[in-house]
Each structure stands twice: as C-alpha cells, then as structure tokens.
C-alpha cells in the first residue's frame, strides 16, 4: 500500500524542516508536492452516469490543476457535473475518458487520502459520538492507533470549537455543528486533499456565513488543500483562491479565474463586485446562447 | 386579488425600536412535571396496568363460569405454576425448551446474516436470497416436521432444523431491507475511509441497519418460540424428557387444565421477559441512544 505508507511518513519521521515554507502550520500537511507537480491533476476527463435507460454525459473533457494549499472552487449551475466531478476525484466514479491524478498517481478507488465532506448531515454514523466519528476514519484506514487517534481527534475538535461536545451523539447536534464535525473528521485525517461537496448548502444563511468564516480561519491555521463545490457565486469568491467555471449539460470548463482578493471583509469592494458581475456574465451568457440555439433549432 | 398596497405616508409613523435585554434565570425556563404525569409517562407502568387488568378479567371470567376443568382461574393457575416450578418437572422442561430454542435461534440468525451479507456484496447473492425467501417463507415450519423426523430422527436435531427454518427467512428479509435502506451518503463515507468487504459490512452496514436488524431479531424470536412449542406438542418427548410443549400436551391428556394454563403462562412470561428486558434494553442502549428510532 504505497499510498498509506506515504501517508504515515510525517508522523514517523517528524521532520519540522519539511514544514519550513509554512511556519504558521500547526498540523503538518505531510510531504509537500514539488512545485512542478500539482497536488491534483484532472486531465481531459469525461464522466458519464447511468440511469436505468440512459447514459448521461455529466462532464466533457474537463482539465484543471489544483496546487498544494489551493482553495480551488468548482462553480456552476445545477447540471454542470461539478458534484459528479468531485465524486470522480474521490474515486466513487471512474472517468470514461482522461485521467485524474493525485500526486502523479492515477485515482482508481475511494481512499482516505481524499476525505469528502458531503452536504447531507447523515454522513456522520449516528452510532458514534462526535469524538468517535472523528476517530473513525483514522482507525478504519489504520492510519493511527487508538490512543494517537483519540489525541488527534480531541485536538481537531478543539480547532473547530466542539471540545464540549466530544461525547455527544450526532443526532443531538444542530446542522452547523454536524458539518463542523464532518470537517474536523476530514482535517484529522490530514488528507492530501480535502473535498467538499456543497457542505454549507443545507444550512441557514446566518450559519452558512459563520461556517465560511470558520473554514477560512481553519485554512489560515492548517493550510490544507481544498477542492470545494458550490453553486453560489458569492460563496465561491469568498472561499476560493481560484474558481473553475463550468457550463451545464454537459459540464465543460468555461473559465478559470483567480479570486484571492475577494474575501468576507472586502465583500462590497469594487473589484469583488466587478468579478461577481463577470462570473455571472460568463455563466449566464453561455446559457443564453444555448437557449438561442434551441429556439433556432425549433424554428427551422 | 384583495391585496392592495397602502401608500407609505398612510402607514403612520413607526420609529425603530431597541431594547436592552436583562439576563434571565434559565432555571425558570424548565418546570417539573407532576409525579403522576411522570409515572404515566413510563411505559413499564402503563404495561403493568394493562397486565393487571387482564388478570382481573380472567379471574372474574373463571369465577363466573365456575368450572375449573374448562377454565381455571388466575389463582388456581398460579398455584399449579408454583407446584410445577418447585415440586414438579416444569423447571426442567423450561430448561430443555430454552436450550433448543437458543441453539436454533442463534444458528438461524447467523445464517440470515451470512445470506444477507452475500446478498449485498454480489448480484447473484441477492437473487439467491430473494428466490429462497419467496420460496420458503410461506412454508410453515410444522409442515417440515415430518421430513425433519425422517432426516434427523426423533431428537434435538429435528427441532433445531425446523427452528432454523422458521427464523431464517423472516430475519433475512428484514436484515436485507435494512441493508438496502442504508443511506448513500453513509455508504460513500464508509468507502471513503477505505473500508471494503467484510469490514465495510461490519463497521458500516450492520450498525446502520441495526433498527431493521433488531426488528428482524424480534420477529425471529417470536417465530422461533411459536414454532418450538408447536413442534413439541406434535412431536412429543425427545430423548430424556420433552420441553414445555410436551408438558402442556401431557397435562391436557390427563385433564390437568390448571397445569396446561401454567405451561401457557410460562410461555407468555418468557416471551414478555425477553421482549421487554432483553430486546428493549438493547434497543435503548443502541438505536434509541443514537437517535435512529424515536423514543417513546
């Protein structure tokens, strides 16, 4: 199991020198990827999913690279295949064309080096307490022994502000708290990349804003690599440092934009609003064109 | 449409309102319920009350009828039960029945779990399970008894065979339904952690399907108990004295109706104990605590 070995390395070696480029990082993010090799490479990937009668093309020849420490956002309207793309990166779905590589190795199956935070609250096994939930992937993947896993779970829970709820069962928590547990569980694994599939979409607007702030604060602290799916332009700008715009039916890359400057603090700034406008235009214009084509086709 | 908008100037002057909120004593927010309400809220109390009512009804009917040969009263039955337990063979009969029951039940449960595990991991396994259950679950266990006697002879093995048959199919259907009801997100989370094969079944599917599994175990228990008593009635004594069913049968032949009732009461009491102590406790410690089924 080469992946697992690579995974365990930093714990056994304990080389603080390897962390030199990121002195702020408390929890080390394992071996850094060399700059010329992206952490995640999605290379000309087409995806299909099957219903009982049809084979539906969800994404067509999508390519992008996620560098280490990126907060990379996949943004698009529903039906652009962004969630399907994330599931393919997670390994739940094999591409029909192209290749997805993590640290240069092709992805074939789900694995604990890519922890997914889902939108649904039932991603947390209800029979495990908050602490056990955070420990679960560490133990299931045999990354850590029980004692070490418990220590790390408590550390991570402290980071997301849930220390007081370590022994609570998930059904007693609010939606926002459940998502925080799910994020803690992902961070505790110290995955090569953290995948988030519209994690805040089922939350109310106030909680969502708070969770966005907390996620960014966590990133400032730990500097994990993040791939984030959303259908909210505003969320994409706030969370991401790069945005990949996808067009719907099938999902194709429309644009890739940097948006490091757009943060929660300067939300009303001129540049941010201009970028929102631009993204809106890029998504909307494409749809308008498609609508035109359909009407033209219908007329002829 | 009767809605109409009132012009702003007609809505009157409404200044912004702002209040300083003084802290509130949080103890005032929770009041104690009265003792009777609390007692009535306990399921054990309500159930005990029902039982007492039924016993009174029975005793009344027996006294009214006045023929202990046809319907002995609750008091006569309790006396027969006491004699049977401490002076008669009842305790030994219970022991024989329970030991056979537990063997058959455990084997049937394990087989059901194995079959459903096979059914969730392969397509042919699923087809096998659905075909077998639709074939055999309508078949009454008692109907298999003559065949069992032919194959396994007059003894425990035949009883265990029919017990397995009565437990297996009902339980397999329930467990399989439970496995299939496990949410897609939870499945993906499990695979995400790198779980596969038997570890995936043991660490994700079984706990996630535990409410259905428990329902299956309860149904299986009732079926097993029912089948065992019926089989013993038909089948009589196996080697070295029969079980409870045999006790009931023997006493009916000798017209000790109070002893027949004592035997039936034992069947009922054991059923109630297992249901209310073992299964309910297990349920309270697991699925209720986890919020997977609603509390009472």
CB atoms A125 and B289 under 8 Å: no
CB atoms A118 and B188 under 8 Å: yes
Tokens standing for B183?
């949410």
Sequence-ordered alpha helix ranges (H) in A160-269: 175-188, 205-222, 233-239
So where are chain B's domains?
A: 73-288
Is A105 in the B-facing interface, judged by CB distances under 8 Å?
no
CA B283/CA A47 separation, integer angstroms: 43
Of chain A residues 37-96, which have a CB less than 8 A from chain B? 87, 90, 92
Over range A55-65, report the average pLDDT: 90
Is B284 in the A-facing interface, judged by CB distances under 8 Å?
no
CB atoms B194 and A171 under 8 Å: no
Which residues on A lie below 8 Å from B195 (Cβ)?
A: 140
CB atoms B186 and A123 under 8 Å: yes
CA A10/CA B160 separation, integer angstroms: 56
Question: What number does CATH give the domain B73-288?
Answer: 1.10.3720.10
Is A2 in the B-facing interface, judged by CB distances under 8 Å?
no
Over range A125-140, report the average pLDDT: 94
CA A225/CA A243 separation, integer angstroms: 14
Q: Which of A58, A28, A5 is nearest to A222 (CA)?
A: A28
Nearest CB partner across the interface for B208, out of A112, A116, A125:
A125
User: Which residue in chain B is spatially nearest to A182 when comparing CA positions?
Assistant: B189
Contact (CB, 8 A) for A178 and A168: no
Low-confidence stretches of chain B (pLDDT < 70) are 1-3, 236-241, 295-296
Which residues on A lie below 8 Å from B292 (Cβ)?
A: 126-127, 171
Confidence of residue A24 (pLDDT cuts 50, 70, 90): very low
Tokens standing for B125?
């396994």
Q: Give the best residue of B193, B196, B285, B295 to mutate against chain A (max A CB count within 10 A).
A: B193
- pLDDT reported for residue A14: 38
Q: pLDDT, tens digit, for every residue of A81-125?
A: 899 999 999 999 999 999 999 998 999 999 999 999 999 988 999
ipTM: 0.80
Q: What is the β-pairing status of strands A114-117 and A193-197?
A: parallel
Nearest CB partner across the interface for B289, out of A140, A141, A169:
A169
Q: Which domains does chain A have, with CATH numbers?
A: 1-12+29-110+221-300 (3.40.50.300), 114-190 (no CATH)
- pLDDT reported for residue A250: 85
CB count within 10 Å of CB B248 equals 23
CB atoms A110 and B186 under 8 Å: no
């Amino acid at each position: 199991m080469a992946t697992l070995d690579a995974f365990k390395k930093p714990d056994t070696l304990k080389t603080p020198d390897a962390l030199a480029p990121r002195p702020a990082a408390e929890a080390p993010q394992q071996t850094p990827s060399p700059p010329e090799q992206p952490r995640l490479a999605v290379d000309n990937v087409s995806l299909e999913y099957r219903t009982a009668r049809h084979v539906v093309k969800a994404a067509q020849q999508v390519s992008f690279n996620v560098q280490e420490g990126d907060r990379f956002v996949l943004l698009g309207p529903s039906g652009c295949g962004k969630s399907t793309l994330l599931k393919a990166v997670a390994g739940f779905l094999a591409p029909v064309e192209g290749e997805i590589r993590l640290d240069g190795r092709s992805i074939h199956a789900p694995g604990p080096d890519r922890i997914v935070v889902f939108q649904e609250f039932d991603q947390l096994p209800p029979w495990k307490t908050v602490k056990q939930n955070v420990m679960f992937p560490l133990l299931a993947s045999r990354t850590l022994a029980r004692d070490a896993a418990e220590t790390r779970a408590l550390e991570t829970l402290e980071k997301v502000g849930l220390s007081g709820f370590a022994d609570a069962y998930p059904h007693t928590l609010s939606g926002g708290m459940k998502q925080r547990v799910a994020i803690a569980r992902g961070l505790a694994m110290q995955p090569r990349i953290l995948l988030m599939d519209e994690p805040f979409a089922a939350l109310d607007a106030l909680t969502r804003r708070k969770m966005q702030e907390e996620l960014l604060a966590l990133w400032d602290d730990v500097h994990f690599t993040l791939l984030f799916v959303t259908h909210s332009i505003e969320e994409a700008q706030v969370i991401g440092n790069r945005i990949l715009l996808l067009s719907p039916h099938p999902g194709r890359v429309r644009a890739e934009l940097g948006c490091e400057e757009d943060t929660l603090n300067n939300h009303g700034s001129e540049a941010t609003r201009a970028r929102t406008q631009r993204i809106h235009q890029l998504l909307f214009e494409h749809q308008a064109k498609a609508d035109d084509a359909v009407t033209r086709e219908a007329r002829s | 449409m009767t809605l109409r908008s009132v012009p702003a100037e007609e809505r009157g002057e409404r200044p912004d309102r702002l209040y300083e909120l003084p802290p509130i004593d949080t103890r005032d927010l929770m009041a104690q319920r009265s003792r009777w309400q609390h007692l009535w809220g306990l399921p054990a109390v309500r159930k005990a009350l029902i039982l007492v009512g039924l016993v009174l009804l029975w005793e009344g009917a027996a006294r009214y009828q006045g023929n202990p040969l046809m319907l002995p009263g609750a008091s006569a039955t309790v006396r027969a039960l006491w004699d049977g337990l401490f002076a008669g063979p009842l305790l030994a009969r219970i022991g024989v029945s329970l030991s056979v029951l537990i063997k058959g039940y455990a084997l049937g449960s394990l087989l059901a779990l194995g079959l459903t595990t096979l059914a969730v991991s392969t397509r042919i396994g699923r087809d096998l399970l659905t075909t077998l259950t639709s074939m055999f679950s309508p078949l009454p266990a008692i109907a298999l008894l003559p065949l069992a006697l032919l194959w396994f002879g007059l003894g425990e093995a035949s009883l265990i065979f029919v017990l397995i048959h009565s437990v297996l199919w009902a339980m397999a259907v329930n467990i399989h339904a439970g496995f299939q009801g496990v949410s897609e997100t939870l499945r993906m989370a499990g695979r995400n952690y790198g779980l596969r094969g038997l570890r995936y079944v043991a660490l994700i599917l079984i706990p996630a399907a535990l409410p259905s599994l428990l329902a299956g175990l309860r149904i299986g228990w009732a079926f097993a108990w029912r089948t065992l008593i019926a089989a013993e009635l038909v089948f009589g004594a196996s080697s070295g004295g029969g079980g409870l069913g045999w006790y009931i049968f023997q006493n009916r032949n000798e017209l000790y109706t109070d002893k027949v009732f004592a035997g039936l009461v034992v069947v009922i009491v054991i059923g109630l104990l297992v249901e209310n102590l073992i299964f309910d406790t297990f349920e309270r410690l697991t699925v209720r605590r986890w919020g997977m089924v609603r509390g009472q």
